[in-house]
Amino acid sequence: MRILHFIPSIDPATGGPVEGLRQRCAIYRNSGHEVEVASLDSPEFVRQCEFPATAVGLGPGLGVYAYTRHAVPWLKANVARFDVVFVNGVWNYNTLAAWRALAGTDIPWAVFPHGMLDPYFKKRFPLKHLKKVLYWHLFLRRVLRDATAVLFTCEEERLLARQSFARYSVREAVVPYGTFGPECDIAAAGEEFLTRWPELRGKRLVLSLGRIHPKKGTDILIEAFARALGKDAAWQLVIAGPDRTGWRKELETLAERLGIAHRIAWTGSLEGPLKWGAFAASEVFVLPSHQENFGIVVAEALACGLPTLVSDKVNIWREVVGNGAGFSSEDTIEGTEALLRRWSALSAEESAAMRLRAQQCFHDEFDFNQTSKRTMENVEQLARATPNSNG
């Protein structure tokens, strides 16, 4: 089977959708299928990326929307080579371009919204939402209506997507999603991490890993840590991830005011063994995000046997709590403080048991080595589907 994925960018800095696509490319190859990726990046940028599939850049796209006149002609000229097309995202030009090229053809195609229909954005950015409402009624409503399927990565995302826009009519499907666990020696990676940051050795580490962004609730975590664990010198907060918005300086000022600046280690971005080592060296992972479509980093933590404390805005919180792999609360300072207090009150036996359940949760719910068969069954079912074309 020949598969095409169309995504706004293959830049790893853009976050979860790109990492998820990289993982899916491995599944496709292992199942004997061919996959290509088209993006709105420039051809020069694509050539610089070490992407694990044949990739073509149709840009550079203009502005945030990333319009490029090359997208529709390329799709029309090449789409007949593929058995199924997946479109990633909804608010960039690639989605509209796919609709314009694929409507009326016999090629089945599906859209992964990747959480971009979540009502959080409606509440958090009301002015931006007004522009999205206009775009929805002009184009996107018909794009999603005409897609063979709209694919959600968990049940929570599917339910939330219904709440953002009027006249919502799509063919929904929830598909297996997740990641692969570490391929390195976890113990050795943990030692490498502690050697790099020796001041953390012997401490009880609370880990936050991901981009530093207001959506992730990093300010909430700092406040909650100060309240719940700030007086116990055994605990250390590790904040790992890139700061692309310049927010870190403000967060450091907050930590100074709370008297815990010396209790926070800022590691910057972590990749490869150092990333897995951060999980291995930590006692618990925390993500008080205000909106998280899936949270691959949560699955990665579970893969390392690391219990997770997540807000109920992380869409896989039900799976985490249901499997006894962590706790969940509201995305507030009080809610996150309660999570940290609840974790710190566990006995050694209780926390050890939760570590085992964390690994089992990953194995059962999110390990692509286990779910890849279901993933490919879903892809093959879609490839056999008859596309809808309503206009």
Mean pLDDT of the chain: 94
Residue 388 has what pLDDT?
Answer: 62
294 found inside a domain: yes
pTM (predicted TM-score) = 0.84
Over residues 291-300, mean pLDDT:
92
Residue 14 has what pLDDT?
Answer: 82
Residue length of the chain: 391
Within this chain, do residues 132 and 192 fall inside the same structural domain, yes or no?
A: no
Residues 6+ apart with CB under 8 A from 230: 258, 259, 260, 263
Residues 6+ apart with CB under 8 A from 386: 106, 108, 148
Within this chain, do residues 127 and 165 fall inside the same structural domain, yes or no?
A: yes
391 found inside a domain: no
Q: pLDDT tens-digit profile of 1-59?
A: 999 999 999 998 787 789 889 988 988 998 899 999 999 999 999 999 989 999 999 99
Kind and range of the H or E element at 286? strand 284-287
Give the number of C-alpha atoms closer than 13 A to the C-alpha of residue 343, restricted to the C-beta side: 31
Cα angle for residues 262, 267, 269 (degrees, 5° grid):
155
Give the three-class secondary structure for 104.
coil
Within this chain, do residues 248 and 175 fall inside the same structural domain, yes or no?
A: no
Q: How many domains does the chain have?
A: 2
Within this chain, do residues 173 and 190 fall inside the same structural domain, yes or no?
A: no
Within this chain, do residues 199 and 72 fall inside the same structural domain, yes or no?
A: no
Rg (CA), the chain: 21
**What is the domain-level CATH number for residue 116?**
3.40.50.2000
- Establish whether the linkage from the previous residue to 288 is cis, with ω within 30° of 0: no
287 found inside a domain: yes
Within this chain, do residues 17 and 115 fall inside the same structural domain, yes or no?
A: yes
337 found inside a domain: yes
42 found inside a domain: yes
112 found inside a domain: yes
CA dist 15 and 216 (Å) reads: 13
Q: What is the DSSP letter of 116?
A: T
Q: pLDDT tens-digit profile of 164-205?
A: 999 999 999 998 888 889 999 999 999 999 999 999 999 999
Within this chain, do residues 10 and 153 fall inside the same structural domain, yes or no?
A: yes
Cα angle for residues 71, 72, 77 (degrees, 5° grid):
100
Which one, of 385, 29, 16, 60, lies nearest residue 177 by Cα? Answer: 16
Between 176 and 137, residue with greater pLDDT: 137
Within this chain, do residues 342 and 197 fall inside the same structural domain, yes or no?
A: yes
Q: pLDDT tens-digit profile of 310-361?
A: 999 999 999 999 999 999 999 999 999 999 999 999 999 999 999 999 999 9
245 found inside a domain: yes
Structural domain of residue 294, as residue ranges? Answer: 186-366
Q: Which residues of 144-171 are buried (b: 16+ CB within 10 A; e: fewer)?
A: bbbbbbbbbbbebbbebbeebbeeeebe
Within this chain, do residues 205 and 172 fall inside the same structural domain, yes or no?
A: no
Residues 6+ apart with CB under 8 A from 333: 220, 223, 224, 227
Within this chain, do residues 173 and 194 fall inside the same structural domain, yes or no?
A: no
Over residues 255-264, mean pLDDT:
98
The tokens for 164 are 């953002």
Query: Would you give the end-to-end CA distance of the chain in angstroms?
Result: 28
- Residue 206 near residue 288 (C-beta atoms within 8 A): no
CA dist 304 and 284 (Å) reads: 11
- Residue 227 near residue 198 (C-beta atoms within 8 A): no
159 found inside a domain: yes
Residues 6+ apart with CB under 8 A from 166: none
Q: Which residues of 33-47 are buried (b: 16+ CB within 10 A; e: fewer)?
A: bebbbbbbbeeebbe
Q: How confident is the model at residue 376 (pLDDT cuts 50, 70, 90)?
A: confident
Cα angle for residues 8, 14, 18 (degrees, 5° grid):
70
Q: How confident is the model at residue 228 (pLDDT cuts 50, 70, 90)?
A: very high
Q: pLDDT tens-digit profile of 358-373?
A: 999 999 999 988 888 8
Cα angle for residues 194, 199, 202 (degrees, 5° grid):
70
Within this chain, do residues 85 and 103 fall inside the same structural domain, yes or no?
A: yes
Q: How confident is the model at residue 382 (pLDDT cuts 50, 70, 90)?
A: confident
List, in sequence order, every residue forming a beta bridge with 292; answer none if it has no partner.
314
Within this chain, do residues 212 and 99 fall inside the same structural domain, yes or no?
A: no
